Amino acid sequence: MSSAMPNICVLISGNGSNLQAIIDAVAAGKIHGKIACVISNRPDAYGLERAENAGIPAICLDHKAFEDRDSYDAALMETLDSYAPDCVVLAGFMRILTADFVDHYLGKLLNIHPSLLPKYKGLNTHQRAIDNGDEEHGLSVHFVTPELDGGPVIIQCKVPVFSDDDAGTLAQRVQEQERHIYPLVVHWFCGGRLTMNNNKAVLDGNVLPEGGYAND
């Protein structure tokens, strides 16, 4: 990564609340980097408007215009590489990425997942936590590897599950924490403090445990 401002590229599919948190953190000087572009696979993603409002190139690369996953990911890589990304942030990007794509950006590809990994990989995590009677739930930020939601965890944040929760109220509680945690991780990465070595997350030279930083 260059000592100049690292280029951050953000991939979205929807509202872009985590994108907004990162935009705000960059504007406040809390992240040593610049958002080079925002790309959505859906033309109706509100996050594109958030990017435009911040003066960031907002690109729609509609997956429906491509025959298959491989051709889409190849076009996505070509678009991303034109912005020379140092960090690629998945912020609610609702597509499973090909191994070729992941390998191309290995070590600089971040994702946030709404569960305490390795629990509840995939979708519907909040309802699954409720259905299983969990007393705590949360989120994980992790490096992306070819295994779905299986890359090394960087940090987790726990929230309580209350008896009267439904998937919506629990999701809201998790999302409130996401908006604090994700910019912090991007800050670490762009500052050169966070790397991935031998499929492990490393912060300030220390290999992080399976549950990530400061996991109790």
Name the token pair of 116: 């305490």
Q: Which of 104, 113, 142, 187 is catalytic?
A: 113
Q: What's the CA gap between 197 and 6, in Å, rounded?
A: 20
Q: What's the CA gap between 21 and 47, in Å, rounded?
A: 11
Name the token pair of 26: 């960059």
Query: How many angstroms from the chain centroid is the CA of residue 112?
Result: 4
Q: What's the CA gap between 33 and 187, in Å, rounded?
A: 8
> Would you call 178 helix, strand, or coil by DSSP?
helix
| DSSP E strand stretches across the chain | 7-12, 34-40, 58-60, 87-90, 109-113, 136-143, 153-160, 194-197, 200-203, 206-207
Picking from 164, 208, 53, 3, the residue whose alpha carbon sits closest to that of residue 38 is 53
> Would you call 181 helix, strand, or coil by DSSP?
helix
Q: What's the CA gap between 213 and 145, in Å, rounded?
A: 19
Task: Tell me phi and psi for residue 139, to 5 degrees.
Answer: -140, 160
Q: Is 142 among the catalytic positions?
A: no
- Residues designated catalytic: 113
